[in-house]
Structure formats: C-alpha cells, structure tokens
C-alpha cells in the first residue's frame, strides 16, 4: 500500500499548525477526530466545511462520518460565534429557579433563538446543559464569566451594555 | 473441545432447537422456520440492534433481548410472540409511521415496502399517536437515484452497505435524536458527493426513501439478496 | 518514589505549614469564585503580607455550603466565615489572634454534624494545584502500599470486602467489576474514569476533579494495578474547563514525581493517563457510548453483552468507573474494607456525595452515610425550604430519576430504596421543589431533556421521547385529553422496556413517578384546565374555551 501523505494545510494561517500539532501528537490516528475538532474550535471559534474536510482527510475519516460526529456533539459550532456570548444554563436547578424566563427574555431582547447570533454579529445566545454551578441557580455565562443568581433585570442590563458598545 | 460441547440446545416458542455457540437467536429461529420481525437487520450487514422489533422474551429474565445480536445460551427458553412483544412491536411501528411522512398511496415503494408489509403482518390498523408532520427534503440531484427523507426510518442499512460492502462510506448519519438525518459527505447533495454510483444503498433500503429514478412506477421490488453472496465471495478470496 | 520519600515530602509540608500561626483557607470553587473569592484571596494575601503576622493564605476546593459563599475558614481555630466580600480581607487579618468577626460567622453546626467526609475529606483543606498538599494528607500512600505490599487479587478482595458500589448511578458492585476485568483474557487492558457528569443539577464529580484531582488519579492507578492495565483515560466534559486544567496539572506533577509513568516506585508496574474531552452529549455517560466517544466516534451506545469488561475500548477489556467511585478507593485501601463496610445501610455501603440544590436554604455539596433519611438531608442539612413555601418533592437521579413526595421522606437513602420509590440514586443530584413547581411541567422538562439528548439510534427512545413530549405539552397547555394520558402511559412502558440503552430505559421515570405521586395534578390540567402551581400558562386551553 502506498504511504499516506496528509493533505497540505488549507492556508498559511498559523492556527492550522496548531491543529496539525494535535493530530501529529496522536499519530494521525482516527480516534483523534474529536480531540482535533476541539483544537479547531479553540483556534478558530467554530468549524466550517473546509476545516472538517481538512481534518477528515488528514485522519483518513470518511467525510460523512466526520460530519456525523461534528453534528452529534452540541459543543461544536458550525457558525462563527458573535462578539459576545450569553450562555444560559438549562440544568434542572436553574430551570426550577426560573432559567426558562431568562431565556424567554433574552430571546425577545435579542430577537434570536438559542444557538443563533444576532444579525449584526454582536451577540450569540446559547444554552448549556449544566455548568455545574447549580447551587447558585439560575446561572448564565456572560462571555465565559459565571454569573450566579442572575435576575432578569441584570441580564437585560448586560445585553444592553453589549449591544450599545 | 468435544463435538457435543459445540451444540447448544434451547427452545424457541416451545420448539426444541439446536444451535452452534455464538449463533444469534434470530439466525437459529430462521433456520427453524420461526419468524421474528426485523427492519434494521439485513443478512450480509453488521447488526446494530436498533429497530427493537426483534425483541424476544427469555424465561427467567424481565429484560427483553434483541434477537439479531443476542447469542444463544444452553437451556434458554425463548418466546418470540407474546402479547407483551406484540404490543411493543405495534407501538414501535406506530412511532415510525408518525415520525415522518409515510403516505403509502403516493409512495414509489407502495406494495413492496418492508415497513408497509410489517404493519400488515403485525396487525397495525391505525395510528393513535399524533403525526409529527415535519417536512423533509427530497434530494434528486443524483442522475440515477433519489433520496426522499420523508420516507426514511433511519435503519441505517444504506450507511452500513456503503461502508461495509462497497467500502466507500459516503453515507452516514448527522445530528441526533429526532433530528437525525442520513447524509452523503459533508451533508452535500448526493449528486455532487463522492458516491460511486453502485446503487447498493438503494437496493438495501426497506422503504421508498432511496429509489432508482428509472424504476418509478414499475412494479419491481428492491433486491438486497446480493449481500450474502458478496460476503461469501470475499471470504473465499 | 518510596514510602519513606513520600513521608519526607509530607513531613516537609507540615514543617512548612508549622511556620505559620494561622491558615486562611479561601474556597475558590465555581460557586464562591463566581461571587468574587478570587479577588478576596488577593486582598487577603496583601493584608497578610502587610500585617507582620505569620499567615498562610490558601486556595481550596469546595467547602460545601455554596449558598453561604464566598467561604473562608481560619485554622487552627476552625472559624468559618460566610458571604465574605473582598473588602473584609483587612478585618479578617486584623482579627486573627483576637475575637471572631460576629457578622461574618457562619453557624451551620446542624449542616455539618450529620455529614461524614470520605470522598470530600480533603475538600477545603488542600490547594488542588499542589501535589504536596495532597501528599501531606496521606495522598499516594495507598498506591505505594498496594504496589509494594499487596497482590492485585488482594486489592480486589479489599474493594469487594468494602461493599463499594458504582457511584455513577447503576450501583454495580465495584469489586465484582474489577474482578471481571482482571480475569478477562488479553495483554492490553484499559482503565477509564467517567467524568462526563451529565445530570443537570449535579456537580459532585466536578468538585472532586477540581478540588482534589490527585485522589482520582490515585484511585485509577490502584485500579490499573488490580486489573492489569497500563493505560488510562479520563473522559471529562468540555463544559468543565477548570477540571481539565487541574487534572492536567495533577498529571504533570504525578509524572514528575514518578507516581505515574514507567516502573512506578521501582516496581514492574507502569501506568499513565490521558485526558479526553467530551463535547456536550449526555448519552456519553453510558459506558458503551463513552467508549465510542473516546474512539473519536458518534457517542451512540451499542447493545450489551459484550460488556466493556470483556470488550471495551478498541475491543480490549476495559474497566469504567465514575469519578466518585475512584475517589473512594484510596481511603478504602488505607483504612481497610471493613471500615468502609461499617458505614451505610445493609446493601449500600459507605457514604454518598449529593449536590443539594433547588428550593432549599443551604444549597451545595454534602456527603452523608448511606441509609440516612431523606428528611435529615433536606430539613437538617439543607435547612429546609425557605420560608413562605412548602416542600413538594425532591428529585433524585437527574433525567433518569424520579420525584419523591413529602410522605416518603422518612425512607433511608440507598440504591434499592430509591429504586423502589420509582427514582434512582443516579450520580447524586438532589433538587428540592416547593409548591411553586408544577409536576407536569417538571416531567415535561425532563422528557424534553431526554428528547434532545437521545442519540437517535433506537426507535423507542428517538421517536418515543418526542411523542411523550408532544403529549405532555398538550397536557400542560390545557389541550390534553384523558385519552392522551392513557396513550402517554402506554408509551412510557414501551420506551422503558424496548429502548436500547439506559437513557431510553429510564427516560419515562420522571413521568411515571410524577404520575404515581401527583396524578391529581395531571387530572387538574386535563379536566379542569387548571395548573395548581400556576406555572403552566394554559394559553391554548383559553383559546379553545373562548
């Protein structure tokens, strides 16, 4: 069998070298798919078709299988995130303490559904299964900062700060 | 090990049968003329135990086992056709009919569809569950074949035939839960994909989800019988 | 590394600590950190440096009662301060050696009195990034004892003797599982730690991984020695970045000290661990799905047998235990199987960590002996439901669990008792609900969770949970009928009995348990178009009536 040559990097963007590093560290084994996708998302913020194609070809994973993996795991984004991200925790403790009302308010304020970004690319509205800060429910992550016992007014204020700035 | 030890004796629906160790309950039942309903199973493809129609009861256990993957054990007493199993099978079929848009009268596979035949066999007369009426795409981009996701039951026979027999792995499944969808490549149009145009996926599809364009309206059913033959030839090499 | 060398490290840490007159421990776990404990620690360090007193300011993992955070504990006096703002740092430093600060004092004697700390024995006492802190509290002693003095069979015997059962939820006897993997044929075996704590409302495993990461590694290494594995994986949720970073540090330190890697303690035993990140799929807590995920695939479960103990990761015999199970191993080895066996109830031994949340005064992490009454956990340890509301139900076991009503609160907590009540132990989430929660709405919430987390492989779970959700939506918006209720119950049976894996098989539990104990609420919604708790809007019903 002919020796396998990995495909060339998609561009001279240095971030591809980081992605390649994860694959090399794992000996370009197929099982490194999820690890590598994590590296792509960390480096680029999301996974587009070119990135998935590059990783799949490099690891010799069928394209459809790679796409199946990307879309199975909700942590992976196929679209670039907004400049800011509001992630509302959808865990049980948060739900019992009114996270659904926070979500409804956020949807109304931003005019987007969870998983989507506002048209101007400013704010992404996301939901997390549970961030493990249940004792301070309801919880939301404002650009990765944990905000416990968040009130609707505080949340709206935060969103306004983002959209005005 | 002596030859005697290589035989397992068990009963299926009170009929005493013998089997080789490692055989599945489904294989042994069919060898002995006992019918166990299946949809995701297909001779020649790996088994996944996903459709749950082949669940059987084992005496002494409350757990139901999928006959397509559960192997025979000495002294096992298997029941394949109890009231409890019949109820589950009808509910599973109802779930399938209500999940997507299975309108037999306007389907290319009307009359030779495994789902339709199964419903008749299991005596499913009406669906109590609310229909979901979700609209799915029809991909007619391929010059020879069409994929109508409205008829797909996600048995994944196409995925397995393409990966295991053709070796192309063009098909796979994306998303999860109720949003699962079989796709080619990166969810691209079938016609623009890396498809080898072999047509195996079409032949193994139990419903009208994958069909040949030229065969619309003709009364020719699909024929997945080539699979065991291909496997045999491969083993012989 | 020898036992003597380990003792030397412990000794030097103790000598170092003895230089200080006061230890100021600051809880930096997620809940306290989100209330500014990071800033508080900085301020404490500044004030301490300027004070001229000999003060050690230490970052620690979760101290327990999160709702009282940020928490600070002063040793050796064992003073616990609650709700400490950064501005009080100077006051705290000034008060050392004098009278305690009255307005900060945290009076939670009742909260702590019934607790027994085994898994959480180091929580609040060590800096999770300092391996020496762990060693000073008997860390890695068990591993070295096992490697130098015990046979693999002897280790398995001790774990079996302890009566420890899997803490991930299923409650399978740990010793038995280890024995099966040890006996499995094949040279290559794996040990996997399930840190994919997916139950919404549970964070015990996060706290252990973040607060005491070496304890997990030590448990894994002991398990690897017992079953004959040389490679391990920790599967951690990507939503827990701090846990990942703490574990990464711990791995590096353990390797540096020769407690992971080749020929540990100059014995033939070699073992190393890799971290694998989850990516947001609850079903990956199921062991065959977890294996698929480590292999880089879609996390869909497969039928068992074969069990992972005989054919797991890459087809090799694989031991999978949950974080809390591994966290129990070192203390069992150190103190003996009998010591552990003496705690707990008849068939559930030892202690269990619960994440107490919801409508309760003291939310946070608690560790209690098995067999303790639910009432004691909720009323005494948890401080009960805040004033103005009454207790309605406690939900255990996450989306696979059930809701337990007030009249069952005198039952002791054990695997079997919870199962009998229509719930499960699960990983240890305990969510308290009061009269402002609607049980139909709660059931719908959990079914929605299972519907979105269903992998889609088998029909009963994929389409069944979606149908259950439709029917529950009808009931909660006032358009449901009694026929819908009958259909729902029918569907629950098929989803429970015919689904492929544990997710589907337990998905109906929240519906079945609320129907069992709160059926009248369903009837109210259907017949009188009324939500007793006033949660469900009944918009659709109003339209129909108008």
Predicted pLDDT at A24: 95
Residues in chain B with pLDDT values less than 70: 1-5, 216-220, 237
- Alpha-carbon distance of A48 to A56, in angstroms, equals 12
- Alpha-carbon distance of B58 to B51, in angstroms, equals 19
Nearest by CB to B178, which of C457, C463, C490?
C463
Q: For residue C484, how many C-alpha atoms fall within 13 Å in the half-sphere facing its CB?
A: 21
Beta-carbon separation of C467 and B95 below 8 A: yes
Predicted pLDDT at B2: 46
Nearest by CB to C456, which of B88, B128, B154?
B154
Q: CA angle, C89 as apex, C88 and C93 as ends, to 5°?
A: 120
Beta-carbon separation of B48 and C490 below 8 A: no
Beta-carbon separation of A67 and B163 below 8 A: no
Nearest by CB to A92, which of C66, C365, C431?
C431
Which residue in C has a C-alpha nearest to residue B52's C-alpha?
Answer: C498
Which residue in A has a C-alpha nearest to residue B168's C-alpha?
Answer: A62
* C348-388 pLDDT tens trace: 999 999 999 999 999 999 999 999 999 999 999 999 999 99
- Alpha-carbon distance of C501 to C498, in angstroms, equals 9
Confidence of residue C334 (pLDDT cuts 50, 70, 90): very high
* C79-121 pLDDT tens trace: 999 999 999 999 999 999 999 999 999 999 999 999 999 999 9
Q: pLDDT averaged over chain C? A: 95
Q: For residue C169, how many C-alpha atoms fall within 13 Å in the half-sphere facing its CB?
A: 28
Beta partners for B15? B12
Beta-carbon separation of C463 and B51 below 8 A: no
Cβ-Cβ contacts under 8 Å, A49 against chain B:
186
- Alpha-carbon distance of A94 to A100, in angstroms, equals 8
- Alpha-carbon distance of B171 to B190, in angstroms, equals 9
- Alpha-carbon distance of B224 to B89, in angstroms, equals 24
State the best of A64, A69, A76 to mutate against chain B, taking most chain B CBs within 10 Å: A64
Going through C35-172 in order, the beta strands assigned E by DSSP cover 55-60, 72-75, 79-81
**Is A92's Cβ below 8 Å from some Cβ in C?**
yes
Q: For residue B18, how many C-alpha atoms fall within 13 Å in the half-sphere facing its CB?
A: 4
* A33-85 pLDDT tens trace: 999 999 999 999 999 999 999 999 999 999 999 999 999 999 999 999 999 99
State the best of C69, C201, C427 to mutate against chain A, taking most chain A CBs within 10 Å: C201
Domains and CATH numbers, chain B: 3-81 (3.10.20.740), 86-236 (3.30.70.20)
What Rg do the C-alpha atoms of chain A give, in angstroms? 19
Q: Say which residue, C201 or A74, is predicted with more confidence.
A: A74
| Contacts with A, C 425-444, CB within 8 Å | 429, 431, 433, 437, 442
Q: What is the DSSP string of C325-343?
A: HHHHHHHHHHH-HHHHHTS
User: Per this entry, what is the length of chain C?
Assistant: 546
- Alpha-carbon distance of C466 to B99, in angstroms, equals 9
Q: Minimal Cα–Cα distance from C468 to chain B, Å?
A: 10
Cβ-Cβ contacts under 8 Å, A66 against chain B:
186
**Is C115's Cβ below 8 Å from some Cβ in A?**
no
Enter the pTM of the model.
0.94
Domains and CATH numbers, chain C: 20-113 (3.40.30.10), 138-341 (3.40.50.11540), 351-434 (3.10.20.600), 439-545 (1.20.1440.230)
Name the neighbours of A, counting chains with at least 3 Cβ pairs within 8 A: B, C
Best CA proximity match to C393, nearest among C372, C354, C417, C421: C421
Query: Residue A1: pLDDT above 60?
Result: no
User: Per this entry, what is the length of chain A?
Assistant: 165
Query: Residue C25: pLDDT above 80?
Result: yes
- From chain B, which residues contact A within 8 Å (Cβ)? 163, 168-176, 183-187, 194
* C471-496 pLDDT tens trace: 999 999 999 999 999 999 999 999 99
- Supply B161's token pair: 């035939």
What is the rounded average pLDDT of the residues C240-251?
Answer: 96
Predicted pLDDT at B237: 67
Q: Residue C292 in contact with residue C304, Cβ under 8 Å?
A: no
**Is A143's Cβ below 8 Å from some Cβ in C?**
no
């Amino acid at each position: 069998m002919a020796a396998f040559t990995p495909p060339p990097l998609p561009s001279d963007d240095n971030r591809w070298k980081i992605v390649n590093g994860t694959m090399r560290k794992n000996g370009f084994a197929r099982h490194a798919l999820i690890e590598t996708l994590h590296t792509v998302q960390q480096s680029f913020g999301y996974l587009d078709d070119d990135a998935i194609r590059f990783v799949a070809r490099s690891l010799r994973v069928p394209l459809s299988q790679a796409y199946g993996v990307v879309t199975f795991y909700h942590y992976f984004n196929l679209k670039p995130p907004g400049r800011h991200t509001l992630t509302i925790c959808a865990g049980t403790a948060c739900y019992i303490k009114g996270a659904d009302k926070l979500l409804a308010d956020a949807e109304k304020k931003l005019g987007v559904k969870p998983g989507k970004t506002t048209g101007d690319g400013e704010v992404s509205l996301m939901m997390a299964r549970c961030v493990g800060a249940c004792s301070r429910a309801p919880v939301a992550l404002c650009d990765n900062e944990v905000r416990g016992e968040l009130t609707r007014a505080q949340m709206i204020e935060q969103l306004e700060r983002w959209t005005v700035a | 090990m002596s030859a005697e030890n290589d035989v397992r004796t068990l009963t299926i629906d009170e009929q005493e049968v013998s089997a080789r160790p490692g055989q599945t309950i489904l294989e042994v039942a069919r060898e002995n003329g006992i019918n166990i309903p299946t949809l995701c199973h297909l001779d020649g493809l790996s088994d996944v135990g996903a459709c749950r129609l082949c669940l059987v009861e084992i005496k002494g256990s409350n757990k139901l086992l999928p006959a397509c993957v559960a192997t025979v054990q000495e002294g096992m007493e298997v029941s394949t056709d109890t009231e409890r199993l019949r109820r589950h099978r009808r509910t599973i079929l109802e779930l399938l009919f209500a999940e997507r848009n299975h309108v037999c009268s306007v389907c290319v596979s009307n009359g030779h569809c495994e789902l339709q035949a199964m419903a008749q066999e299991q005596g499913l007369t009406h669906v109590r569950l609310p229909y979901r009426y979700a609209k799915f795409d029809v991909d007619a981009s391929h010059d020879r074949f069409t994929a109508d996701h409205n008829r797909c039951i996600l048995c994944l026979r196409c995925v397995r035939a393409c990966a295991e027999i053709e070796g192309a792995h063009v098909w796979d499944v994306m998303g999860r839960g109720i949003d699962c969808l079989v796709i080619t490549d990166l969810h691209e149009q079938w016609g623009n994909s890396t498809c080898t145009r072999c047509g195996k996926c079409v032949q193994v599809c139990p419903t009208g989800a994958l069909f040949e364009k030229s065969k619309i309206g003709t009364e020719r059913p699909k024929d997945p019988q080539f699979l065991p033959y291909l496997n045999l030839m491969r083993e012989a090499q | 590394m020898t036992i003597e060398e380990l003792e030397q490290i412990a000794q030097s840490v103790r000598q170092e600590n003895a230089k200080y007159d006061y230890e100021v421990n600051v809880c930096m776990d997620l809940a306290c950190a989100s209330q500014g404990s990071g800033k508080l620690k900085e301020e404490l360090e500044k004030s301490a440096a300027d004070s001229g007193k000999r003060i050690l300011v230490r970052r620690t993992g979760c101290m327990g009662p999160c709702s009282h955070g940020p928490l600070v504990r002063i040793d050796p006096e064992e003073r616990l301060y609650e709700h400490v703002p950064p501005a009080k740092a100077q006051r705290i430093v000034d008060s050392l050696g004098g009278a305690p600060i009255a307005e900060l004092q945290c009076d939670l004697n009742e909260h702590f009195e019934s607790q027994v700390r085994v898994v959480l024995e180091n929580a609040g006492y060590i800096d999770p990034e300092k391996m020496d802190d762990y060693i000073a509290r008997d860390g890695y002693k068990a591993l070295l004892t096992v490697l130098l003095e015990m046979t693999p069979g002897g280790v398995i015997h001790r774990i079996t003797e302890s009566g420890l059962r899997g803490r991930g939820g299923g409650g399978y006897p740990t010793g038995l599982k280890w024995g099966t993997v040890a006996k499995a044929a094949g040279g290559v075996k794996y040990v996997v730690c399930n840190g994919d704590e997916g139950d919404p409302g549970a964070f015990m495993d996060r706290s252990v991984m973040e607060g005491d990461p070496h304890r997990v590694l030590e448990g894994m290494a002991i398990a690897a020695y017992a079953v004959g594995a040389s490679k391990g994986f920790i599967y951690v949720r990507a939503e827990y970045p701090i846990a990942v970073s703490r574990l990464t540090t711990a791995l590096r330190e353990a390797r540096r000290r020769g407690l992971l890697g080749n020929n540990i303690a100059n014995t033939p035993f070699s073992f190393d661990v890799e971290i694998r990140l989850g990516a947001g799929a609850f079903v990956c807590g199921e062991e065959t799905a977890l294996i698929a995920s480590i292999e880089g695939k879609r996390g869909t479960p497969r039928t068992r047998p074969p069990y992972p103990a005989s054919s797991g990761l890459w087809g090799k015999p694989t031991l999978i235990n949950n974080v809390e199970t591994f966290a129990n191993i070192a203390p069992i080895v150190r103190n003996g199987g009998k010591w552990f066996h003496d705690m707990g109830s008849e068939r559930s031994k030892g202690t269990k960590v619960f994440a107490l949340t919801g409508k309760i005064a003291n939310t946070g992490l608690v560790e209690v002996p098995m067999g303790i009454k639910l009432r004691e956990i909720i009323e005494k340890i948890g401080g009960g439901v805040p004033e103005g509301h009454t207790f309605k139900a406690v939900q255990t076991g996450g989306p696979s669990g059930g809701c337990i009503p007030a009249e069952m609160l005198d039952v002791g907590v054990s695997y079997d008792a919870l199962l009998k009540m229509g719930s499960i132990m699960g990983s240890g989430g305990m969510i308290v609900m009061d009269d402002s929660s609607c049980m139909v709405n709660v059931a719908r919430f959990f079914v929605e969770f299972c519907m979105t987390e269903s992998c889609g492989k088998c029909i009963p779970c994929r389409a069944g949970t979606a149908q259950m959700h439709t029917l529950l939506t009808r009931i909660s918006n006032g358009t449901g009928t009694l026929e819908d209720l009958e259909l729902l119950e029918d569907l629950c049976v098929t989803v429970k009995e015919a689904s492929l894996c544990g997710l589907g098989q337990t998905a109906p539990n929240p519906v079945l348990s609320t129907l069992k104990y709160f059926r009248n609420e369903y009837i109210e919604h259907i017949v009188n178009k009324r939500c007793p708790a006033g949660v469900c809007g009944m918009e659709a019903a109003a339209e129909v009536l108008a």
